[in-house]
Amino acid sequence: MKNSFIFFLMLLLFLQSTAAEKIYFSADTMSGKTGKEADNTTLSGNAYVKTDSMEIYADSIKLYGKDFRYISATGSIKGSNIQSKLDFSCGTLSYDRETKIATLKENVNLNDTENNVKAKAEIIEYNQNIEIAIMQINVNITQKNNVCTCAYAIYRKKAQMLNMSGNSKVIQDDDTFRAQEITLNLDTQEITLDGKVKGSVATSETTKQTEPSSKTETKSSEDVIKEFNSEQQAQAKEEEKKEEADSNQESTSNESQSQEKQDASSKKKKKSKKKN
């Protein structure tokens, strides 16, 4: 009788969901009830549920509401949003199959495998239709070389935009940016800060910049030494020429003076002969 009841519930689950989407499930045990207004089924022990968009593993999973619209799970939850390509883990989960909104609570980890964005928070609400995640309490988001922390964040998956508020901080390698509100474009890495802005930026010369400078400096030193030696040699030659010119000039001057003396002496001798 019990097995027949379980088989009936499984068949009913499948038939009622075929109009919108199929639901696949498995568990160690299952219990529930059906009615005109609502259905209620609980899967316990290695519980597993798969819809067209969601895949959930948990200790316990409950399907309830008209046509099993709602899914809730507790205990060691792991799963993925198949359409949005998001992996997740958390303590408790609720999912509305009609609105496509999932609310994850307690040590939530969300991984956007398509864009390599990883998020941690106490509460994350994800709207599959618009692909937006709202994160609250102890938010930590990592992407490329960015480490972002804040109290509240909105992650727009399609636009690859992250809006943070409440003691927001972004660390990029050695650079740190703080503000009450921060907007980060995860594609271009452009950061916009607003409200009580603080930050620090580390600057350093790269190897490519320093290596050419070092080589240039070595070459110029060698050139300076060569030029200095050349200048010394040229200066020595100039001094030798100058000394030689001065010596020649002095010799010429002495010869002129001697000739003048001789001429003066000759004139005196001629005058003395005339008088006699």
For 87-124, write each residue's pLDDT tens digit: 999 999 999 999 999 999 999 999 999 999 999 999 99
pLDDT at 274: 54
* pLDDT, position 74: 97
The predicted structure's pLDDT at residue 137: 96
3-state secondary structure of 193: strand
Q: Which residue has the tokens 């002095």?
A: 250
DSSP E strands in the chain: the ranges are 24-26, 29-34, 39-50, 54-65, 70-81, 86-96, 101-112, 117-127, 132-143, 146-156, 161-172, 175-185, 191-194, 198-200
Q: Which two tokens stand for residue 170?
A: 């972004």
Separation of alpha carbons 95 and 227, rounded Å: 82
Q: How much is the mean pLDDT over the chain? A: 80
Amino acid at 29: T
pTM of the model: 0.66
Q: Identity (one letter) of the amino acid at 137?
A: I
Dist. CA 43–CA 46, nearest whole Å? 8
Distance (Å) of CA 124 to CA 74, 113, 149, 183, 214 = 15, 17, 14, 18, 53
Task: Say which CATH class 2-204 falls into.
Answer: mainly beta
Per-domain boundaries in the chain: 2-204, 205-263
Full pLDDT tens readout for the chain, 276 residues: 444 344 444 544 444 443 457 899 999 999 887 666 667 899 999 999 999 999 999 999 999 998 889 999 999 999 999 999 999 999 999 999 999 999 999 999 999 999 999 999 999 999 999 999 999 999 999 998 999 999 999 999 999 999 999 999 999 988 999 999 999 999 999 999 998 888 788 776 543 333 333 332 333 334 444 554 565 566 667 777 777 777 777 666 666 666 666 666 666 665 555 554
